[in-house]
Amino acid sequence: MDTPDEAPHDVMQVCRNGHVITELLHTYPERGLSHCDRCGAETLQRCPTCGGALPGASLVAGLVPVGHSRPPQCCSVCGAAFPWAERPAAAALEPGAVLDGCLRRLPRVVRQLRTRHGSRPPFRVEDVHDLEDVLRAVLPLFFDQVRPESRTPSYAANTRTDFLIVSETPSAMTAVSAKYVMAGLGECDLARQWDEDVGYYGRLSRCRLVVGLVYDPQGRLHDPRGLEATWSRRPGPVELRCVISS
């Protein structure tokens, strides 16, 4: 098989963003550019991996091609993808899996916020509403559609804010609910709260998953991994998954 250098082709020059500069670099070297005149990106005429020339216009006696063809996505010699190649879309991760990693790292965010510029007071998470503020800021980093859900459950003296994550599947939503463990809030209390939360979201026909964050900065809960397994369940149409972070 002929390589691009041996085949009856000229050489193509392309910028790293995929803009074709010329297909006739050998025939008309003055058309070559070091940087793209459209986006400013660096140009190349050889495969960065193996050095094979990018095949340009077919050389036909007496004919000069008009216009530019699309640049190849991969090198015909070594198979490496070029910088402008379209990458296959990554498979969308299930919201519960994304939330598990995000919520387990949330205490790191909280610790970083304690140190601020100059004499500004540190941001401290001292109750569930502070925790909700952190979630409000962090969740949009991972999800495109995050909606606050304000409600006043029977176990709370004031309004709580949960967060609804709307997925691409129109019939499914994921709710994120936060708990802050402090003196007087025990394991049995939390279990009753989860029952009420799951019941509330069970009445929302589009909600299929409740992910519960239990923030325990003082380490008051014994055997957190065991409690996660105990509380995480599917009692009905809505699944509950708990993440205990400290």
The pLDDT assigned to 7 comes to 46
Question: In angstroms, rounded to a whole number, what is the distance separating the alpha carbons of residues 240 and 91?
Answer: 24
Among 91-100, 102-111, 128-137, 179-188, the minimum mean pLDDT is found in 91-100
Tokens for 99, please give them.
Answer: 């939330």
What is the mean pLDDT of the segment spanning 44-64? 84
Q: Which residue has the tokens 């459209």?
A: 38
- Beta strand extents in the chain (DSSP E only): 9-11, 13-15, 20-22, 43-44, 55-58, 146-151, 160-166, 173-180, 207-215, 239-245
pLDDT band for 40, please (50, 70, 90 cuts). Answer: confident
pLDDT band for 61, please (50, 70, 90 cuts). Answer: low
Q: Per-residue pLDDT for 121 more than 50?
A: yes
Q: Per-residue pLDDT for 2 more than 60?
A: no
C-alpha separations of 147 from 39, 157, 167 in Å: 37, 22, 11
What is the mean pLDDT of the segment spanning 12-33? 92
The pLDDT assigned to 171 comes to 62
The pLDDT assigned to 100 comes to 93
The single-letter DSSP state of residue 30 is: G
Domains contained in the chain, CATH given: 8-88 (no CATH), 95-245 (3.40.91)
